[in-house]
Structure 1
Amino acid sequence: MSNAEADPAHRPSSARIYDALLGGNHNFAADRAAAQQLLAVIPRAGEMARANRAFLHRAVRYLLDRGVHQFLDIGSGIPTVGNVHEIAQRVVPDARVIYVDIDPVAVAHSNDILHGNPNAAAIQADMRFPEAILHHPQVGSLLDLGQPVGLLLVSMLHFVPDDDAFTAVARLRAALPAGSYIVISHGVSETPADAAEDQITALYRRTDVSNAHGRSRAEILSFFGDATLVPPGLVWVPEWPRGGSGDPHDMAIVAAVGQLGASEPAAQG
């Protein structure tokens, strides 16, 4: 890799591309150029990003309504344009949030944004090594892992290879107490957008991730393990939690929320 490619200002990152798609301003020219290339391949990529962010908002509010006031957001990107701490602390001022991202620039931006907020912090870590996240000092100081946690894996698992993703998520689930929730949105391999997967993978290989591919619904559901899915289950991302049917309009992202240790399906909010 050349010095220019190693420089964050010249090498795009998945977190900052997402920020650019959302209309944020914590990104560089290289990220905006990559976002434009992605839009050329998937014209609705910006709409998908916004639908995904809206799902995150709904899921956080759902968990807050059920008494979950602490969140572990892995693959969080940059907490701008209405992220978890803003949504949660608007309802519960002392709600606690740990953001985790692999990109050091995204983490630095995040901690600048979170400066002065004692109940939110960002750490740099790789989700393929969940124990390093769970035992991180800031996680231990902000989150009580003996109480229910909202584990957020929103639009990030499709960047993690199979050999790492399934094992890592299983370890994270196992570390959380009953009553915790797991929130996932994920690219799905069954829409016309799949035809562009090779181009998308090639684009993201120039970033901080080496993998970008959708999975089948069955594979995505396996991330939940024995968690009880909140109705309506796994649906197109704009349809949660109301449900729906019909043409996904190339949305290419599905979403679900599951409760760990639930004896029966959680009531729909």
Structure 2
Amino acid sequence: MKSILEEYKCGKARLLTMLEESDDPVVKTLQPSLKTGRKWKVTEAVDEAKECFKMNEVIGQTQTDRRGLGSTTAKWWSKTEGKEKRDMVTDEIRNKEDSKLVQKAVQQPQQGQWTNWDTAIQRSLIWNDIWHMAPLRISFLIRSVYDLLPSNANLVRWVKKDNPKCPLSQGRQTTEHVLSSCKVALSQGRYTWRHNRVLQELASVISTAKGEIQPSSTSSTVFTTEDGVKKWHGGSVIINICEITLLSSDHLPLP
């Protein structure tokens, strides 16, 4: 998801590059100045991006991954024109903004843990998707990424509890532990039950949209814990693992 500040900077840089590369000689020679803030100047950002492109041409094509030399085609600033130049400038500004955000996140020991997710699947979100999401879903997504869900480990950190252990496995109950790493919940099939319940709800919605009538499910799933037997009714879709409800706004205390 792109920030508004990033889009503002890219828009200014694209406009300045378009005016500088204009076919109109009057516009091209006027050297237009665009108004920006005091902390960021579009002319300096564009000039810095151009210098970076020229330096890349001096260095030449380098190997940046395991695909080897010659597997990718590099774009050179001196051989591009028009829209390609504008795209190169905006991409360079985006990369620098992303680098600043990552550098800031790395300095945060808890909220910046997502920078160590090597196997995480990249998900592209646009603002239109955010506007159409349910408030609890947005809250859950943001808090799970930045590790702000009320797990026992976080509640101890926020001085809300004294014991950070999981009531099922007696391990340290972190957000990762609750969502996918509890051995007891895994052995009892709780993650499978949650996955199947989500698929069942999706199938029900699709069948309803197609006009098919689905029978109501009144069955319940029973899980055995150390304290006895606990029933999880089939009609509940709330993720309730390791004795905490992560999707309820009443259980989301601020740190």
What TM-score results when the alignment is normalised by the length of structure 2?
Answer: 0.25
The one of the two structures with greater contact order (alpha-carbon pairs below 8 A, sep at least 6) is 1
Larger Rg over CA atoms: 2
